[in-house]
Amino acid sequence: MSYPEKRKRRKKKEPSPTLPSTPNPASSSPKKKKLSPTPQTSPFLSLPYDLLLDCVARVSRLYHPTLSLVCKRFGSLLASPELYKARSLLGNTERCLYVCIGHGANESRWYTLCRKPDKILDNEDTKSKSSGYALARVPFPESPRADFVGLVVVGSSIYQIADWETLKSQFWIAGRYLSNLFHVFDTESQVWDALPPLPFTGNHHVKGTACIDGKFHTISTSKVDVAYSSTEGRWDLVRSGMSEYMSNNSYCVIENVLYSASYGDFRWYDSEAHKWRNLNGLVGLPKLRCEHGIRLADYGGNLVVSWNQQTYYSFLPQTKIWCAEVSLERRRESCEIWGKVEWLEHMLTAPRIIDVTKVLAVAV
């Protein structure tokens, strides 16, 4: 006999009381990410052109290559003549260093000294107390191979002329031989004028030129030197001894003093005693030789030294460009000039043979 199954009624469990739950940040709806303003949406870029120009004109020229990467508007603004006019009106002009580097037999490339962005300063830079300088490529159009004697600064402009020399606000033109005619070019009137003929004849090869004591000196390899005075309008035959260390284009004039790095030794010319003297100090500057292609420049009263360091790895050439800035102190009581190396920096590396044609300081 079977007994009917008794089904047990199960009580439905009531939910236990709980406290009000707090929202869980992890389970809450996703938050909208705050987008940082892009250069296109930045309020700074929406400023009127004149106001933006005034702001940028107050920024040091050393940071211009970095600023040009922000946007196209900045790039065009930094290349505009209006910017340099605004800097001049504000009294904010400064000496900027430009370096012309020869690439091969037919091409020159231009670079300018700028500050490295903070993110590029690595641990090695910090340990070695890096100057923080670097060479940035200047977006000039394709330039033919330049020559040392044909590159000259006039105000805020760089002129390139073949086989000629220039000076100050005018171009003083010299041929390769002292028998050639000399011309002067006025950059304001854009007019060429011939200078009076030399007081002698002869094919003396021109070795270099320099402006000292207000006179345009032309130095020849045969130690027959001439100087032209624009105030008196005449040539004078001088035997100065300048030509002894004016070779390999490793010279420049700073505050009426001629400096030379001929044969790797640094000297200055004493125009009163008509003799060359050694430049003292220079602690930290490596020993340089002729093959380093040394170039000198006036950088606001300081001496800038640039040179090449060429090596070969697995028969492949490599060139490193170095620069150093040297402050100068003249001690008149002892008739000495001392140089102090302010900074020394590896600026550029190229997987080929290149050389520094000339270093120029421009007021912009």
> Are residues 348 and 333 in contact, defined by beta-carbon separation less than 8 angstroms?
no
Q: 184: which 2 tokens?
A: 């002067």
Per-residue CA distances from 284 to 121, 131, 212, 325, 343 (Å): 22, 14, 30, 11, 9
Q: How many Å apart are CA 208 and CA 170, to the nearest integer?
A: 17
| Residue 307 dihedral angles phi and psi, to the nearest 5° | -155, 165
Provide the residue type at 215 as one letter: K
Q: 53: which 2 tokens?
A: 């120009």
> Are residues 75 and 44 in contact, defined by beta-carbon separation less than 8 angstroms?
no
Q: 175: which 2 tokens?
A: 């041929």
Looking up tokens 């032209």 gives 228
Task: State residue 124's pLDDT score.
Answer: 47
DSSP string, 318-343: EEEEEEEEEEEEEETTTTEEEEEEEE
Q: Chain-centre distance of CA 353, in angstroms?
A: 20
Per-residue CA distances from 82 to 54, 74, 85 (Å): 10, 13, 5
Task: Looking at the chain, list the stretches that DSSP marks H as alpha helix, in order from N- to C-terminal side.
Answer: 49-56, 64-67, 72-78, 81-89, 123-127
User: How do beta strands 95-103 and 133-137 pair?
Assistant: unpaired
> Are residues 65 and 136 in contact, defined by beta-carbon separation less than 8 angstroms?
yes
Q: How many Å apart are CA 293 and CA 356, to the nearest integer?
A: 7
Task: State residue 26's pLDDT score.
Answer: 44
Looking up tokens 């033109």 gives 173
Task: State residue 144's pLDDT score.
Answer: 75
Task: State residue 202's pLDDT score.
Answer: 63
Looking up tokens 């620069």 gives 323
Task: State residue 6's pLDDT score.
Answer: 43
Per-position pLDDT tens, the chain of length 364: 444 444 444 444 444 444 344 444 444 445 555 555 444 556 666 778 888 888 888 887 777 777 777 777 877 787 777 887 888 788 777 788 899 998 877 888 899 888 776 544 444 444 445 678 888 888 776 677 888 877 878 777 787 775 454 444 445 445 454 555 677 777 777 777 777 877 665 666 777 888 888 888 888 777 678 888 888 888 888 777 787 888 778 999 999 999 999 888 999 999 888 889 999 999 999 999 888 999 999 998 999 999 999 888 777 888 999 999 999 999 888 889 999 999 999 998 888 888 899 999 887 7
Q: How many Å apart are CA 62 and CA 8, to the nearest integer?
A: 91
225, burial (CB in 10 Å: exposed 0-12, middle 13-18, buried 19+): buried
Cβ neighbours of residue 67 closer than 8 Å, sequence gap 6 or more = 56, 59, 74, 78
Q: 270: which 2 tokens?
A: 């004493």
Strand partners, 108: 102, 143
| Secondary structure class of 51 (helix, strand, coil) | helix
| Residue 355 dihedral angles phi and psi, to the nearest 5° | -150, 150
| Cα separation of the two ends of the chain | 118
Q: 6: which 2 tokens?
A: 């008794």
**pTM of this structure:** 0.73
- Give which of 96, 92, 95 is closest to 58, Cα–Cα: 92
